[in-house]
Amino acid sequence: MPVLVASDLDRTLIYSSAALALTMPDARAPRLLCVEVHESKPLSYLTETAAQLLTDVGDAAVFAPTTTRTRKQYQRINLPGPQPAYAICANGGHLLVDGVTDQDWHASVLARLADECAPLEEIREHLSSSADPAWVRKHRVAEDLFAYLVVERELLPEDWVKELAVWAENRGWTVSLQGRKIYAVPKPLTKSAAVREVARRTGAELILAAGDSLLDADLLLAADQGWRPGHGELADAGWSAPQISALPERGVLAGERILREFLRAARQPA
């Protein structure tokens, strides 16, 4: 039976220049491959070793990129290896099949959001009124599904995110801080639900997953085996679970380690 590999992308498999600066020393730095360009600027990278490993993973398993990025942001990425037949965007809000949105899946997501949580506009208004322009650089809405802020981390008040999380919790939303972005996402909008749908369609009996942020926790818990790197929101919180391996590697080298683990498990499924 096929093995499904569902992995977060940013700060898990691919890394921006800022993420590289945080986690990769200059000495003996690995060779990098650029996998994302926007407005003529290189944005995201993985190591050349990781590129070959990802190609091998795509040959050995059903590889489904699983990201909070919008469809447009995801489609800027040019990953090595076979073109994924399935990709999960907008934190599970869109399931792409051969690059095209599955409209039935999207409609089912919208129905759950309408039933189970406060409307997006209420969240947007609260973010607009409570966030200080002194440290907010951008207000964004992604795919009319969730909202996020781009902030100056060094100016962000320590308790503001915690207070936002409590306010959002009572309205059926979650809050996650990732790098310079603060996400407000409806609780029913999950990567795990979309991954289970891909597993159903492919007949996969083994799900492997990786991720670094709070928005990846449900994805990891839905997997038979999962890995998190030594950096990121989950590592900072010391988060783990019985089927999750907390790796010591950080940055692009963590990406390499995760892909090696995927490949090992896909070739020798339990």
Instruction: Tell me the DSSP string of 118-132.
Output: --HHHHHHHHHHHS-
Distance CA 194, CA 11 (A): 21
Model confidence pLDDT, tens digit, residues 43-55: 999 999 999 999 9
Report domain 3-110+189-267's class.
alpha beta
Model confidence pLDDT, tens digit, residues 120-134: 999 999 999 999 999
For helices 252-267 and 48-60, what crossing angle results, to 10°? Answer: 20
Find out whether 127 and 149 touch, Cβ atoms under 8 Å. Answer: yes
Residue 259, burial from CB neighbour count under 10 angstroms (0-12, 13-18, 19+): buried
Q: What is the DSSP letter of 169?
A: H
Residue 207 pLDDT exceeds 80: yes
Distance CA 8, CA 210 (A): 6
Residue 209 pLDDT exceeds 60: yes
Angle at 245 between CA 241 and CA 250, to 5 degrees: 125
Model confidence pLDDT, tens digit, residues 92-106: 999 999 999 999 999
Average pLDDT on 148-162 reads: 94
Q: What are the structure tokens assigned to 217, written together?
A: 């926790």
Ordered by start, the domain boundaries in the chain are 3-110+189-267, 118-186
CA neighbours closer than 13 Å in the CB half-sphere of residue 101: 18
Predicted pLDDT at 22: 65
Give the rounded percent of residues in the chain with a pLDDT score beyond 70: 97
Find out whether 193 and 108 touch, Cβ atoms under 8 Å. Answer: no
- Calculate the CA 11 to chain-centre distance: 8
Most confident listed range (156-160, 190-194, 230-234): 190-194
Residue 161, burial from CB neighbour count under 10 angstroms (0-12, 13-18, 19+): middle
Distance CA 212, CA 43 (A): 19
Residue 216, burial from CB neighbour count under 10 angstroms (0-12, 13-18, 19+): buried
Q: Of 7, 23, 80, which is closest to residue 232 (Cα–Cα)?
A: 23
From 1.25.40, 3.40.1350, 3.90.550, 3.30.1360, which CATH number describes the 118-186 domain?
A: 3.30.1360
